[in-house]
């Protein structure tokens, strides 16, 4: 197997940990040369998209990973409907962040700044537009910056949502802090410790509540928000954190877990707020991860559990869209990058439309001939 296939298969998984119950790696094909910088697909909504970055510091608690930090600093990337369509596009990530991410997955087969050249669709620091917009919090998988959910975030913003993507420092290969320092993954040294997943989701739930507390006063565009309409979604342990945050914070009205093993315990009396599980085939009932079956029984409100044929652990992130620029050939039988993005965007938006905008989406009620890859569990997943 060529070195590029071995090393960069790691990016397709982006160092999924024991927290995530990932799909077993497929055999890697011989990889072609990189195809040049990737460009994320255009958003499907009718609104221009803007983006900006906030740095927030919670002085009430120390950082759980950096023992020298007496406060927890968070980087929050906001995507939102914008006044202007033209302007400088925001970078996907910096060259230094790209280098640390590619080194983290042990890739030396492409230039280390490759990911920083990815084309995005959001105008940097554009003026927000709209009023009474719902808010969606995004949390990424372990080791990954929230930029790896940019395609989904841009699409939601174009549909009329404000998206707050949280970078949880020291849990990712690269997080740029307020002083310009790029923090590495200190938590990576602990990911095999007993109780690690439970501790991560507890900390992320606290991060999310702090961001919800701070946004009204710290973001100049906060006047466009409807603070009564908040949801959370995440991939891998970010999806597990969505459930943990909802259990702790009643402001979060609905949640989505994209292929993440869950750790937070739902009260035995049940949990009635809407929740969507969407995952790869290992998350079928009776599969390798029993946490969804355990939680499904305790979800007493609106709930759906869908599994996507041909998906793997990273199909709900930007990773498939970046494969060409990294010289990765998709495995036989895998969803195409474009189809992965379409399915993720479509089902996430349908759930949010129904539960934050009160717009009924029949797509969520039964299988669709337009999306035959999607199976509804538990009944159709045996």
Q: Are 132 and 93 in contact (CB under 8 A)?
A: no
Confidence of residue 11 (pLDDT cuts 50, 70, 90): very low
| The pLDDT value given to residue 252 | 98
94-142 pLDDT per residue, tens: 999 999 999 998 776 789 999 999 999 999 999 999 999 999 999 999 9
d(CA 102, CA 174): 10
Coil/strand/helix, residue 236: coil
346-382 pLDDT per residue, tens: 999 999 999 999 999 999 999 999 999 999 999 877 6
Confidence of residue 31 (pLDDT cuts 50, 70, 90): low
pLDDT of 10 > 60? The answer is: no
| The pLDDT value given to residue 332 | 63
301-316 pLDDT per residue, tens: 999 999 999 999 999 9
Helices 237-248 & 196-218 angle (0-180, nearest 10): 70
Parse the chain into domains and list their residue ranges: 3-377
* Rounded average pLDDT over 232-260: 98
Q: Is 30 exposed, middle or buried (0-12, 13-18, 19+ CB in 10 A)?
A: exposed
Tokens of 344: 């993720």
d(CA 293, CA 275): 13
* Rounded average pLDDT over 135-159: 98
- The full length of the chain comes to 382
DSSP single-letter state for residue 57: E
- Superfamily classification of domain 3-377: Alpha/Beta hydrolase fold, catalytic domain (3.40.50.1820)
d(CA 212, CA 230): 9
């Amino acid at each position: 197997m060529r070195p590029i296939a071995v090393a960069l298969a790691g990016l397709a998984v982006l160092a999924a940990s024991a927290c995530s119950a990932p799909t077993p790696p497929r055999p890697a094909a011989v990889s072609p040369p990189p195809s040049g910088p990737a460009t994320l697909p255009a958003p499907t909504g009718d609104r221009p998209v803007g983006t900006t970055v906030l740095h927030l510091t919670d002085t009430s608690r120390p950082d759980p990973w950096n023992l020298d930090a007496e406060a927890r600093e968070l980087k929050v990337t906001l995507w939102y409907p914008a006044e202007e369509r033209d302007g400088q596009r925001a970078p996907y990530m910096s060259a230094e962040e790209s280098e640390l991410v590619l080194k983290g997955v042990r890739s030396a087969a492409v230039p280390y700044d490759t990911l920083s050249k990815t084309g995005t669709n959001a105008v940097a620091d554009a003026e927000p537009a709209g009023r009474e917009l719902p808010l969606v919090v995004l949390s990424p998988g372990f080791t990954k910056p929230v930029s790896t959910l940019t395609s989904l975030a841009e699409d939601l913003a174009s549909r009329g949502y404000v998206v707050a993507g949280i970078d949880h420092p020291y849990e990712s290969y690269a997080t740029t802090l307020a002083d310009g320092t790029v923090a590495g993954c200190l938590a990576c040294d602990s990911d095999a410790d007993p109780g690690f997943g439970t501790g991560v989701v507890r900390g992320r739930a606290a991060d999310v509540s702090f961001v919800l507390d701070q946004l009204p006063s710290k973001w100049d565009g906060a006047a466009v928000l409807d603070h009564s309409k908040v949801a959370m979604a995440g991939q891998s342990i970010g999806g597990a954190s969505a459930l943990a945050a909802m259990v702790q914070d009643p402001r979060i009205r609905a949640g989505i877990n994209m292929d993440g093993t869950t750790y937070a315990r739902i009260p035995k009396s049940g949990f009635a707020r809407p929740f969507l599980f969407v995952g790869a085939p290992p998350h079928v009932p009776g599969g390798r991860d029993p946490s969804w079956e355990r939680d499904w029984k305790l979800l007493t409100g609106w709930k759906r559990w869908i599994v996507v044929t041909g998906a793997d652990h990273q199909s709900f992130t930007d990773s498939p869209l970046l494969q060409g620029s990294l010289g990765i050939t998709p495995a036989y039988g895998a969803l195409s990058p474009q189809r992965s993005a379409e399915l993720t965007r479509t089902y996430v938006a349908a759930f949010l439309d129904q539960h934050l905008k009160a717009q009924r989406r029949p797509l969520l009620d039964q299988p669709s001939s337009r999306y035959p890859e999607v199976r509804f569990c538990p009944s159709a997943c045996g």
